[in-house]
Every structure is written in C-alpha cells, then in structure tokens.
A and B are shown apart, each in its own frame.
Chain A
Amino acid sequence: MDAVTPEFEPLQMRLLEMGGLVEAAIHASVGALTARDESQAQAVLRNEARINQLEVQIDRLALDLLAGPQAKGENLRFLTAAIKINSDLERMGDLAVNIVERALSLIRQPAVKPLIDIPQMAKLAESMVRRSLDAFVRRDPEMAHSVLLSDDAVDDLRDGIYKELVQFMHDDPATISRALDLIFVARNLERIADHATNIAEDVVFLIKGVDVRHHGASGADKK
C-alpha cells in the first residue's frame, strides 16, 4: 500500500468512507429482500443522505486540489480517478436505494420463487465492488483486473434470471408485477457491477496510466 501524497489523504479517506457506506447499502438492500427484513431496508434509506453529502464533499475537495500546485503527473491521475470513482459510488448508492424500494414491495407479498440466483448475483456484485475498492486502496492492478473478469459472469446470471422470470410471467400472470420487481432488482445489481467495473478501470488507469476502457476483459488481460 503506497502512501498517498499527504494533501490527498483526506480525499482518499472520504472516498473509502463513502465506499464502505455504499458497500453496506448494497449488502443491506439485498439482505432486506432475501431475509424479508424491513429494518435493513430502512437502514439503507437512512444512509442515503450521508452518501449524497459525502459525494458533494469529495467533489469539492477534489476540485480544490485540482486547482492546487500539486495537480500534475500521478497526482492528477489520482484526482481524476477520485472524481470518477466518487460519481460511480454515488450511482451505486442510488441503485441500492432502487433495490430497497423493490424489496419493500416484494417482501409484503408471497414469494414468486425461492431466491437463488439473485443472492448469488448480489454476492458477486458485492465482491466486485469490494475488490475494486480494495484495488484502489492497495493500488493493486491484479485485483482490478479480476473485477473486469467478473463482469461477464454477472451478465450471464442476469440473463438466466430474465429467462426464468419471463417463464414465470408467462405461466402465471398473477406473478407479473412481482417478477418485474425481481427483474428490476437484477437489472440494478447488474448496473452496480458495471459501476464496479468502471472503478476497476479507473484504478488500472491510476496505477499504470493505461486506459483499459472499451476493450473488455480480454483487452485488460494483456499486460
């Protein structure tokens, strides 16, 4: 773990604090759904304000530093990465709130089916978020690459969920609204995974100065 330039440390700390909150929000949003636990859902809604507040603080800090004398070279890469990671994290927080809204409606009705793929997908998405942030903290390009490689697995899971739920809706129209909610949950999880991928790409750029966007995982594999 390389030390950050001291002036940039508050920025990194706030980003990590925000990352922790977003991770917890994602975990609780899916937990509310699978454990049918409304208290976890409420916790996510309570924390949203804090996440938004942090986003504003981080942006202000980053802009101040951008105007400062240290904003060059690696530091400049760090600042741009921080700004991007900030907005990715904030979006993930919103997506977790979306999941919670669906979960609150779902847990008041009987289950369409036992949830198997969605928790699995959530687990994978959570792990991607965690690894992308760990890669950021530890400046670990290998870990960032591992996130890029997981993205396809998330997409596969989402496709499976879509197919299965479409079948449910086809067989029993009474399940349509609940199945749609589940599809939205899957969609939000997939987008969370996409944002985690963005963070991982930013981390690779931050460390190596190489842009790995728009090449897919295979492009990122080449070193």
Chain B
Amino acid sequence: MPFRSPLFRRLLISAFLPLAVALAALDFYLTQFVGKYERGRIEQQLASEARILAGEMSSVPSDSLRLWAADAGRRAAARITFIDPKGTVLADSAVLPETLGNHAARPEVSAALSGKTGFAIRRSDTMDAELSYFAMPVAYGRPGYVLRLAVPGHELRTSVGEVWSRILIASGVAALIALALAFVFTRSFTRRVRRLRAFAESLPSQNIDTEFLPDGNDELGALAKSLKRMAAEMRDLVDRLSLESNRREAILASMAEGVLAVDATMRVTFCNDSFAHAVGVETPVPERLPVLELVRDPGFIDLLTRVMVTGETVRERMQLAAADGRWFDVQCAPLAPTTRRGAIAILHDVTDIERLERVRRDFVANVSHELRTPLTAIRGYAETLLDGAIDDQENNVKFLEKIRANAIRLNNIASDLLVLSELESGRLAGDPEPVDVREAVEAAMRTAESEARVLGVTLHTGELASAEVMGYRIRLEQALLNLISNGVKFNRPGGQVAVAVRRESGNVIITVEDTGIGIPSEDLPRIFERFYRVDKTRSREVGGTGLGLSIVKHAVERMNGTVEVESQLGKGSRFTVTLPAVETGD
C-alpha cells in the first residue's frame, strides 16, 4: 500500500493540501463577493422602484394611501410600507397598519428618518420570513416621511446558494483531479525512491541488479546514475580485495608453518592446513571454534593470552602435547590494528632442529665426560703411584696396567672421533674404489672372532653373495666390525650373531642380526648419535667408546648407502646396511 509509506503520505499531503486550502479560500471569497453583488443589485432595484413609487405617492391623497399601497405592492411584487416621521406606519401593502408598532427603531427606517436611504436584510416579525428592506425619505406634503419596500430575502439566498454550489462542484472536481494527479506523481516518485533504496541496500552483496534502477532526467535519475557508477566501482574494489585476500589466504594455507589466528575471546578466526594437520584435526576447522578445543597446552594458551594483554610480539620454543609432543618455535603477535583484538601464532616445526641441538648439547657434555673419566682414572692411579704405591710390588703393575687401559681407551675415543670428523667433513683419503663386500665381511668376522669367543657368542655367516660396492675398504670393514662387535658385546652367553650378504635390485644388502638384549623403541632413533648409549653402565663395561654406530652411519652414508635397525627388547636387533652395487658383469 502506498499510504503506508511516510514519504508518500507527506508528498501527497504537501501537494494536495495547499490546493485544497486555495480552493476553499476562493470559494469563500467568491461567495462573499457574489453575496455583496446581489445585495447591491437588490438594493439598487428596490431604490429605483422606490423612487418611482415615491413620485407616484406624492399625488395620492392621504385617505387612499392604503389602497395605493396595496396596488403598488402588487405591481412592484414587494411589500410597501409608508411611515410618518414619528415612525407610525400609515399604510402597508401586506398587513393592516394598526397591527404594526412604531417602526422608527428599524435600522433601514431610522436611516431614512435621518435623511439617508437604508438597506437591511433581516427577519420580519410581521411576515415571519427573511426580507430585504429598502427605505428612503420621501416628502408627503412636507418632508420626513419614509417609504419602505421589502422583497423576500430568499431571492438573495437562492442566487448566492446557486453560485456557491457551482463553485463548490467546480472546486470539488478540481480537487479530485489534483488529488489523482498528486497520487499518481507521488506514487511514481516514491516507487523510484524505493527502488533506489533497494539498490543501495543491495550494494554490499555480490549480485547487484541495475535493471530496476529508475532513470529519467531529473535529480533522481542523476542519483541513480551515480549509484550505478558507484556500484561498478565498488564491485571492482571488492573483486580486487577478494582476489588479494584469496591470494593471501592461499599463501597462508600453503605455508609449511602452522598459522593460527584467534580473536579476543580465544576463538579461531583462521587456521591453516599445516596447523590443523599438526594438532591432528580435519580441515576446514569450523569458524569461531574455541582454541581450547584444538590445543589444550597451557603454555600455548598462556602465550596467546599474554600477547593479547601486552600487545607485544613473543617468540618461544615449546613442546605441544596436542601435536604429539613435537617441538615448535612459536612466534606470536597481536593482530593489530583491528577493533576486535586478537593474536596470530606462527608455528615452525623445530622437532628435528631440537633433536640436533640436543645431540650437540649431549655431544659436548658427553665428549668432556668421556674424556674426563679415563683421564681421572689415569691421574688417580699416577698420583697413587707417586704417593708411594710405586714401591707396592703387589699393585704397582696393576695400577700401571689400569693407566695403560685408560690411555688405550682415550686413544680409541680420539681415533674414533678423528674417523668421524673425517667422515663428516668428507675429506677421505683417496678416491672411492670397488670393494669386495664378501672380503670385507670376512675380514671383520675374523677381527671380531676372539672377542666373541671370550664372551661365549657364536658368529654365523648366512648367504654371502659376492658383490662389489664403490667405497673405501677400510671404512666398510670398520663399519661391519662395529656392527658385529656390538652384536657380540650386547649379547648374552650362548648367544649368536649372524651376518649375511645378498643382492637385491641393484643393491647389496648386508644384515647383522644378534640374539642380544635389544634396544628400547624410544632409543632407536637416537642410537646413531655420537656417545648415545642406551644402557650407559653396560656400554662402558664392555669398553665401547659410544661412537661405533655413529661411525657406521657416517661410513655407510659416505658410500651412498643407508643403515636401518629393527629391534625387539629382550629378543635381539637386526641392522640392515644397504649399499648400491657395482655391476661386475657376472
């Protein structure tokens, strides 16, 4: 309904109301004017009739005045009254003069008595009707008499009423036409405004429909045109922005680092795939998910809260239980400048770096510890000997042997470290050459044999395929010796160590399997680290330097091979060395 629109109502009223007021005013004025004009006309008519009658009357004798009055009244179609200077009615065409009182007070009569003509429209008590009276002074023998004419007032009323009703009809019709025009114009105007509004409201949305926009050459049309232009610009801007934000989101999403943004209420506003993957949830993560439902680690939650409170960027290394205990460098920054404050955390997985750092820390600690232990022993025994034990025939040789054993140990460590650094730095003596694997295995077995016999461990050889690899004979032999020797040392009396060589799709695979004590699964990833010992006490008892497996790993890697280990606690371990074979042509 158009009437419900306030704009429509206002426009309609403002268009129609002035017209209605103007018409009403015109009506009133015209009615007044016509009334006045009619009054004047009647007065004039009565005046001219009165003047004629006054002429006639002067020659009428006084006794026949009543007859004359009745006759003149009939001729003039008016009531005629003749009044003497005292106001007494002498003759009247309508009633007997005796029934009438003194007329001197009647306005028209009193005007005539004072020598002027009088005109009045008023109710006549005598006739019980509205009459128009005209009175004029006349001379009847002597001056001072009054002749009065009266015609019924409805003549005036009728003519005025007729004029009035026509004007009314005309202005009614005009008002109706005006109303209809105003209605039509206003409706179309408000409709156009409504369309403009609908269009402006639809601007932020993507599908902008310009089809129903009003046109035309007026201001509304111009407004529509500017809106259209604005819409196009806005769409351009939105497109550019969304492209930009898509690009950024794509960059964030494809980052290897985990990215998590939270708002001030600790709800997720953005979470990339890397982060979701790290904490083991499926993507996409629901919008506005409380961050606690992703990560419960108090350290992480505290970090986010702290950054939001202080507004400072913080970098921290932490282990996240939510990410299976992996280590992260977490860089956390406030999300500024936004009205709803939040924070963004970028998680860089440093589990491997952390492990390497731990290796390095352990190495420094271990190397000093490993060197100090034999040195302390040597110093202790030397001091004891100097303090007089040198003369103790029972023990002096034993002490010297201890010193020698520890010196040998130091020497072993030093040479193992040298080998390792040589392997690591890649400065190996000479170029790689073909090495017969079977010969290397046999040489290593021979070297380990005496130790195996002492510990009651049997050495077995399985299938020994003949094969050649490119490398360094001495390093391969040493690596194999270290593996076999470990199998022997970490074994139990009556145990076995089996070595086998086989060829498989261009590779030479050497396995060293023992029936020893095995390695706990959590230690497996670290056994190739320098000085890493699963069982520190036992390792030292059996005279290891803690560098054996480290040398194996580096030696094999120098020959482009790999070494793997499987182990079962209490059952034994199997080391598998895989080296690329040299095609010998047989």
Contacts and interface: CB of A to CB of B under 8 A. Distances in A.
A130 B293 CA distance: 12
Given A17-B301, A114-B535, A130-B321, A1 B286 contact: yes
Interface in B247-299: 280-281, 286, 289-290, 292-293, 295-299
Interface stretch (A21-29, A144-152, A178-186, A188-196): A21-29
A23 B296 contact: yes
Interface string A100-122: 00000000000000101001100
Contacts of B523: 116
A13 interface: yes
B289 A1 contact: yes
A47 B299 CA distance: 12
Contact of B293 (A16, A47, A114): A16
Contacts of A27: 321
Nearest to A16: B292
A133 interface: yes
Contacts of A61: none
B536 interface: yes
A126 B535 CA distance: 24
A198 to B, nearest CB: 18
Contact of A133 (B296, B299, B520): B296
Contacts of A21: 298
B183 to A, nearest CB: 51
Interface string B119-149: 0000000000000000000000000000000
The residue among B281, B296, B535 with the most chain A CB atoms within 10 A of its own CB is B296
Interface in A86-139: 114, 116, 119-120, 123, 126, 130, 133-134, 137-138
Interface string B284-322: 001001101101111101000000000000000000011
B289 A20 contact: no
A120 B321 contact: no
Given A21-B298, A23-B321, A116 B292 contact: no
Range, interface on chain B: 20 to 34
A120 B522 contact: yes
Contact of B536 (A1, A24, A114): A114
Interface in B507-533: 520-523
B400 interface: no
B534 interface: yes
A9 interface: yes
B301 A20 contact: yes
A141 interface: no
A9 to B, nearest CB: 7
Contact of A17 (B292, B536, B537): B292
A23 B322 CA distance: 10
A24 B298 contact: yes
A19 B293 CA distance: 11
B520 A9 contact: no
Contact of A126 (B290, B321, B569): B321
Nearest to A19: B296
Nearest to A127: B324
Contacts of B535: 114
Contact of B297 (A1, A20, A120, A134): A20
Contacts of B296: 16-17, 19-20, 23, 133
Instruction: Output the residue of A19, A20, A21, A130 with the most chain B CB within 10 A.
Output: A20
A116 B290 CA distance: 37
A119 B522 contact: yes
Nearest to B300: A20
A20 B289 CA distance: 17
A1 B298 contact: no
Nearest to B538: A114
Contacts of B292: 13, 16-17, 20
A130 B320 CA distance: 12
A68 B537 CA distance: 63
Interface in A22-52: 23-24, 27, 47
Contacts of A134: 280
Contacts of B289: 1
Of listed A1, A27, A138, residue having the most chain B CB within 10 A: A1
A49 to B, nearest CB: 13
A17 B296 CA distance: 6
Contacts of B536: 114
Contacts of B537: 114
A93 B523 CA distance: 28
Contacts of A119: 522
A13 B301 contact: no
A24 B297 contact: yes
A1 B321 CA distance: 20
Contacts of A16: 290, 292-293, 296
Given A114-B534, A120-B520, A137 B293 contact: yes
A119 B280 CA distance: 23
B404 to A, nearest CB: 29
Contacts of B301: 17, 20
Contacts of B297: 20, 23-24
Interface of A: 1, 3, 9, 12-13, 16-17, 19-21, 23-24, 27, 47, 114, 116, 119-120, 123, 126, 130, 133-134, 137-138
Closest 9 CB pairs of A and B: A20-B296, A16-B292, A116-B520, A137-B293, A20-B298, A21-B298, A24-B298, A23-B321, A114-B535
5 contacts: A17-B301, A27-B321, A114-B537, A116-B522, A120-B521
Interface of B: 280-281, 286, 289-290, 292-293, 295-299, 301, 321-322, 520-523, 534-537, 569
